[in-house]
A and B are shown apart, each in its own frame.
Chain A
Amino acid sequence: MAKLGRAIREIHSLENLAERNTFFNRIHPTAKVLVTIWYLILVMSFGKYDVTGLFGMCLYPLILMISGDISIGQAVRRLKPVLLMVFLIGAANPFFDRTPVLEAGGITVTAGMLSMLTLFCKTGFAVFASYVLIATTTMEQICYALRRLHMPQILVTVLLLIYRYLVLMLKEADRITQAYMLRAPGEKGVKKSAWGPLAGQMLLRSMDRAQRVYESMTMRGFRGEFFLRGSFIPLRQSVFYGVVWCLVLAVFRLVPVFELVGRIFIR
């Protein structure tokens, strides 16, 4: 059950990163969310053999991670959950698409190899971009941005509530499983006879908690809307930040910048 402990640590570490007072943290969350979505659309729109063009897109997460003091190692570790599926799907490409594309140093590079490489690059870039977003923006700020982008209030409220109670629930699950493990040493997981009672009791307690949460929320004047505040840089600067990044990324998508630069040196 180390998963639970890891999840709690992950959330705390992200919160610590997002609550810093750097320039990137103080940019308006709506600008950051929009730039991230724009970046993801552009990255995923590259053709499956367009490796050189795609490489240009690594600049965005790289620049932000370096200048925002965000650990690249930590970003790479976040690839783990999606890597298996992507690897299984991508690793088949070299076997099924053997059309030779170029020969380098006696090694024939096939189209399948290129498509596999672009798939891995896209996965990496997407994970890094999302990490940059969540490492510089708290969940409250993201919810605020989503609300500004007209996401329905009910969905934003649920999202925020799930996040607020997540650590609490993870800790409770951790306590319950630790208590179970201490009573059942040597077992890898919860045995069949305890499936229902263990999770069921936790579920019933959660529903009771939801009732108490609702009562205390209404006592404090909750009418279905959360009001979020934050200290951001002036809106004009945030708009400028968003527009500049969107333009730069569009240029990298439309013009093979890396290739053009390379041609200056290699003729």
Chain B
Amino acid sequence: MHMADALVVPAVAGTMYAASTAAAAYSIRKVRLENEPKKIPAMGVMGAFVFAAQMINFTIPGTGSSGHLCGGMLLTAMLGPFAGFLTMTGILLIQCLVFADGGLLALGCNIWNMAFYGCFVGGLLIWKPFMKRNMTKRRITAVSVAACVITLQMGAFSVTLETLASGITELPFSVFIGAMQPIHLAIGLVEGLITAAVLLFVYEARPGMLWAETAAKEEGRFSFRRTLVILAAAAAFIGGVVSLFASALPDGLEWSMERTAGTSELAASGGAYELAESIQGTTAILPDYAFSFSDSAAGTTVSGLVGGVLVIALCIAACYGMKFFRKGKNG
């Protein structure tokens, strides 16, 4: 996923440098606040370890191919997201200078795509909330795999956006994304499993070394409520702003239906169908995700926002419902 210099124009490279610098400045501040001088050599040695371990081929059963460790996730689990981010930055700089893997100008992009997502998103939004209360083998495996898959998907998506924003390739967005995401899904799964295997070994041998032990002490700094607010803001942004760019082309299912049946709307008849349709007609405030009277951008935005709020509300209700039932079961 390392981007070469040729894939970015100076404007994009500069923007990504600014974003990565902000993340690095924040990480430096946090590491300084931790005031653990022992951490500095640990970061250096762990960085060298990840570098070397990534060159070991781990055979993937039944495929004949091999994969390697996910550096960002491993560093986060061992050192924490901030020290992990700085260590990954060092690794990426050395990879670019010594091994020509990635470019100096594209370093900001690479730091963002690999270190930021791997350490900040993987560490703060995935690893920490799940490991804070209770660390089990099953959780370590599930979280490692999920974090690797999600962060790699985000990284691959960013590579696509940065390349397209630079105007380097004539590849259409859909083709580019269609090539990038599935490949990185497979890579993420494999890397997640290998990383999980290593972390499980550490958990069994020296559980105190894993980062969540210290994370648990930081009470309420990244509370459930705060996480919820961030997720709500993200959902509002995606629903309200990003949905403006939603494709007018049919989605996968509609496309397949059009190919096979010649239409994307299936006709159905019968009493039950008519009853359901009349109920839907009266209750739906946003038929087909836009105002019934308008195809405007405002309609799309409002649809996105309302949809986001509804889904979040539904998820929260489901979580509380499950909690309520579990409580009832236990006692």
Contact = CB atoms under 8 A, between A and B. Distances in A.
Interface in A1-48: 1, 3-4, 7, 10-11, 14, 36-37, 40-41, 43-45, 48
A101 interface: no
A198 interface: yes
Interface residues of A, number: 90
A197 B201 contact: yes
Contact of A130 (B48, B103, B163): B103
Nearest to B87: A158
A252 interface: no
Given A92-B169, A152-B28, A157 B44 contact: yes
A173 B102 CA distance: 23
B225 interface: no
Interface string A157-194: 11111111110111011001100000000011111100
B307 interface: no
**Chain A interface mostly helix, strand, loop or mixed?**
helix
B213 interface: no
B98 A11 contact: yes
B31 A154 contact: yes
Given A40-B5, A41-B10, A173-B55, A161 B100 contact: no
B59 A191 contact: yes
Contacts of B66: 188-189
Interface residues of B, number: 78
Contact of B28 (A139, A155, A159, A202): A155
Given A44-B6, A92-B169, A200-B202, A158 B59 contact: no
A93 B41 contact: no
B84 to A, nearest CB: 11
A142 interface: yes
B331 interface: no
B302 interface: no
A203 interface: yes
Contacts of A200: 197-198, 200-202, 205
Given A37-B104, A158-B47, A206-B45, A224 B7 contact: no
B18 interface: no
B48 A165 contact: yes
Most buried by A among B57, B104, B169: B169
Given A48-B167, A89-B168, A210 B46 contact: yes
A90 interface: yes
A7 B9 contact: no
Given A96-B171, A155-B89, A207-B45, A1 B10 contact: no
Given A157-B40, A166-B52, A170-B52, A78 B59 contact: no
A194 to B, nearest CB: 9
Interface of A: 1, 3-4, 7, 10-11, 14, 36-37, 40-41, 43-45, 48, 78-82, 85-86, 88-90, 92-93, 95-97, 112, 115, 119-120, 122-123, 126-127, 130-131, 133-134, 139, 142, 152, 154-155, 157-166, 168-170, 172-173, 176-177, 187-192, 195-204, 206-207, 209-211, 213-214, 217-218, 224
Given A45-B9, A126-B104, 12 more contacts: A40-B5, A89-B168, A90-B168, A139-B97, A161-B48, A166-B51, A189-B59, A199-B198, A203-B74, A207-B209, A210-B42, A211-B38
Interface of B: 2-10, 13, 24-25, 28, 31-32, 37-38, 40-49, 51-53, 55-59, 61, 64, 66, 69, 74, 78, 86-87, 89-91, 93-94, 96-105, 163, 167-172, 175-176, 179, 193-194, 197-198, 200-202, 205-206, 209
5 contacts: A7-B55, A44-B9, A127-B5, A189-B56, A211-B42
